[in-house]
Amino acid sequence: MLKKLTPDLYVKDIFHIDLDELSARGIRAIITDLDNTLVAWDDPLPNQKLHLWLKEVRDKGFSVYIVSNNSQERVQKFAKALGVPAISKAVKPRRGAFRTACDALGVKPEEAAVVGDQVFTDVLGGNRLGLYTILVVPVGTKEFIGTKFMRMLERFVLRKLKMRGLTDSPDD
């Protein structure tokens, strides 16, 4: 079970993802979580830094899709402002939304990376479908109450992974 919870890559934030390395791995699409991955949980719209990152991602040939467990109103408003397609109420870690995103982007699961801040939704869901999984440190500290509980379990899992040498802490 620990293998399904292990990200392929663990970085500080989306800006520390080596896009050239992803491309060299055959990754053509990035499926990303929204809250505490792209922006803080309570940021209603994308900021300028995120727009610049998205431009770089697209310039390097990647397609992008947002897959979030948050409400349709929140996700669609944000995705529209960013100019990317999105799925809300994704029920991660179930595979359906990830599969839908891959199909919409015209990629096989092994050609897509999923980026997210949670082990039990983003990493587990991505690993279940065979996506390249990238865990980022949460952007903010405000979260849904259920997420706060899961963070306690997540810290335990990350400590176990580190003790087994399966993952390193993200670089500063």
Domains held by the chain: number: 1
pLDDT in tens, 19-56: 999 999 999 999 999 999 999 988 889 999 999 999 99
In a domain, 47, yes or no: yes
Distance CA 161, CA 158 (A): 5
The yes-or-no verdict on residue 147 having pLDDT over 90 is no
Confidence of residue 168 (pLDDT cuts 50, 70, 90): low
Of 96, 149, 156, 104, the C-alpha closest to 126 is 96
In a domain, 169, yes or no: no
Confidence of residue 2 (pLDDT cuts 50, 70, 90): confident
Looking up residue 120, the CATH number of its domain turns out to be: 3.40.50.1000
In a domain, 58, yes or no: yes
H helix intervals, the chain: 19-24, 48-59, 72-82, 96-105, 124-129, 145-163
